[in-house]
Structure 1
Amino acid sequence: MSARVLICDDSKIARKQLARGLPTDWAVEVEFAEHGQEALDMLSSKNFDVLFLDLNMPVKDGYETLEALKSFKSSPVVIVVSGDIQPQAIQRVKDMGAVAFHKKPASAEDLRHLLTSLNLFSANRNIQNINGYAPNAAEQFTLNDCLQEVSNIAMGRAASVLANMLNVFIKLPVPKVNILEVGELQMALDYSVKEDSCSAVSQGFVGAGVAFETLLIFSDSSFPDMAKLLNVAETINSVVEVELLMDVSSVLVGPFIDAFGKQLNIDFSHSHPALIAQHVKVADLVNAKRAKWKRTLAVEIVYEVENYQISCDLMMLFTEDSVSVLENLLSYLVEED
């Protein structure tokens, strides 16, 4: 008898990777949900044995989904597979009923070992290729899809470093990936940075034909809580603010780029981080770089610290020449075995 498996993840890439990583000698029928609410709707009308659940999703995230499952009379075994590897995130999902957590990406070997350890699967050497997953030939994967997934994994690595350093929980969004004209870039930043003024640190990276700039933008209202968490006792002046900016920038950007580069098999060379704006409006920040940012492939991630008034916006701004190189480098994510 086949096991019924539901994979819930907003990323098409992640759904595909997880499905094709399931044991080929496991009699299983696989279905998909793009967010928690869709998964809950499906679970209300069908019985599933196993739910693979992402955490960072739109509409209803993994935490909200786990909370809602508590009211179900019968629910599947839940395995969380996420790029968010903060210790608090792992403990929270287990406290909420998940039987296991696995970081993204999960290889076929990882999944086989995990499912065996949970007594959800036992190898049948006499049966081959009965995994019910069949790739959808009509499904198209874009550069944005691929870049969003590798950014999501890198985001989780960086957040974990910051969370461990500050002993806090970082609230993570779904990364946004778009090709933006300079005016659209300003609108995106206006939406994310809701304060009247902000400060920003920039750093350049290059490797294997890929060139980009990271821009870390802090709402100026974040400084008091940031200083508190970093145990800064001095009066907050412009010099202390710059030190705080550089400290947090190094912790967030360094691990992010390291995890991003490993997924592309690139060691990026980089410039020194530089303060490019302090206490300015978003429009002034964009104007300062308008000539350079005419049109860019942008990845945007907004980090927030739970229970503190700290918010920072990390953007990766790629050169136009990098787009075709990225498409080639990320093609491994959608290649069939």
Structure 2
Amino acid sequence: MTIPVLICDDSALARKQMARTLPKEWDVDITFAANGAEGIEAIKAGQGEVVFLDLNMPVMDGYEVLESIQQNDLPALVIVVSGDIQIKAHERVKALGALDFIQKPVSAEAISHILQEYGILTLENEGETTDEDMIEVDMRDACQEVANVAMGRAADLLSKLLDVFVLLPIPNVNVLEVSELTMALKATEENPTISALCQGFIGAGIAGEALLLFHDSSFNDMAKLMGLSNPEDEATEIEVMIDTGNVLIGAFLNGISEQLDMQFSQSHPVVLGRHCTVNELIHDNSAKWHRTLAMEINYRIEDHNIQCDLLLLFTEDSIPTMNFKLGYLLD
């Protein structure tokens, strides 16, 4: 009997990877949804007896989808597939009725194991050919999905160190001119002043700088979570920035290196500016950056007044190598 399977993820690359990892001999009819609202409609239409669900999506995220499935008693077995690997994320989706959790990037072995463990996988002599090769993935989408997975690795490490839950956004990925950087930093508009840390990185054919933009209103709460005294002291503020940068930048770059199969070397962190505006920061350092591939992630900590932006600026010369590396994920 053919089983209706729904793959719900805002990333075309993630949808394609997910479809490819399903057992070829599994008799399924696959439907794709690019956000949670589309996913719910597909489930209501009988197209999602088994659902592979992402968490970070526009319109309606994975948590909201699980809530809707519970509230409306919809017939769906949900397996969450996400880059957000925080323990508390696992606990929350299980409490909302998810069958299990698989971390991105997915593997065929992990999928097959879970399907068999829960008795979902029914093997036939011939499975239907899936149409994952019909899914078109552009490089920006691929970069965004790579950033999504790396973002989750960094959040998981921060959450373990501070015993908190890190709220994750959808990564913002664009090729920008330096003049466009200020406009790209939407999350900083509500925060008049920031302090910034910069750390260079370089790999085989890929180089750039990571910026940690720390909202000034966040210092007190962050210092307390780290067990530091005198949160308003200049030395304490710098220590908070460097410690946070070591965690987020290091883990994020490791997440990218794992996916692209390469290693990065990092320079020592440098304080770029303290208690300044984004305009001032970009203007004062504009000579360092030209046209760039930018990945922006706004990290927030639940129940705390803590917010910081991680911005990775890859040099224009890095883009061909990035495209080459990403090509392996698309093939």
How far does residue 191 in structure 1 lie from its aligned partner after superposition?
4.3
Match of 1:151 among 147, 150, 153: 147
Instruction: Find the counterpart in structure 1 of residue 38 from structure 2.
Output: 38
Post-superposition offset of 1:284: 0.7
What is the aligned partner in structure 2 of residue 49 from structure 1? 49
Shift of 1:274: 0.7
What is the DSSP-based 3-state SS (H/G/I as helix, E as strand, rest coil) of the residue aligned with 1:73?
coil
Matches within 5 A, 1:2-13: 2-13=2-13
How far did residue 41 of structure 1 move? 1.6
8 Å contact from structure 1 (residues 27, 132) kept in 2: no
Segment drifting more, 55-64 vs 140-149 = 140-149
* CA-to-aligned-CA distance 1:221-280 (integer Å, 9 cap, x gap): 000110111111225211110011001111111111111111111111111011111000
Find the residue that maps to 1:165 and give its secondary structure. helix
How far apart are 1:44 and its partner, in Å? 2.1
Bigger mean CA deviation after superposition, 38-47 or 76-85: 38-47
Partner of 1:217: 213
TM-score by length of 1: 0.95
1:312 shift after superposition: 0.4
The alpha carbon displacement at 1:110 in A equals 1.3
Q: Distance in 2 between matches of 1:200 and 1:244?
A: 11
Q: Distance in 1 between matches of 2:42 and 2:224?
A: 45
**1:317 maps to 2:313:** yes
1:1-337 superposed matches below 5 A? 1-124=1-124, 127-128=125-126, 130-137=127-134, 139-189=135-185, 191-335=187-331
Q: Distance in 2 between matches of 1:4 and 1:45?
A: 10
Q: Distance in 2 between matches of 1:44 and 1:29?
A: 15
CA distances 1:105-138 after superposition (whole Å, capped 9, x unpaired): 11111111110001001444xx14x14412344x
* Alignment CA distance shift 1:268-1:195 (3 Å): same
| Contact 1:21/1:106 (8 A) holds in 2 | yes
Q: Which range moves more in the overlay, 164-173 or 47-56?
A: 47-56
CA distance in 1, matches of 2:247, 2:132: 39
How far the C-alpha of 1:140 sits from its partner, in A, is 3.1
Aligned residues: 331
TM-score with structure 2 length normalisation? 0.97
Structure 1 stretch 256-265 or stretch 303-312: which is displaced more? Answer: 256-265
String of CA shifts for 1:161-215, please: whole Å, max 9, x gaps.
0001111000001111101112211112254352110000000111110011100
Q: Secondary structure at the match of 1:85?
A: coil
CA contact (8 A) 1:170 1:303 kept: yes
User: Residues 203 and 270 of structure 1 are in contact (CA less than 8 Å); yes or no, is this contact kept in structure 2?
Assistant: yes
Q: Secondary structure at the match of 1:196?
A: coil
Q: What's the % identity of the aligned pairs?
A: 46
Q: Distance in 1 between matches of 2:32 and 2:84?
A: 21
Structure 1 residue 47 displacement after superposition: 4.8
The unaligned stretches of length 5 or more in structure 2 are none
Give 1:229's aligned amino acid. Answer: L
Distance 1:190 1:156 in 2: 21
Question: How far off is 1:159 after superposition?
Answer: 0.2
Kindly state the Cα deviation for residue 157 of structure 1 after the two structures are TM-superposed.
0.6
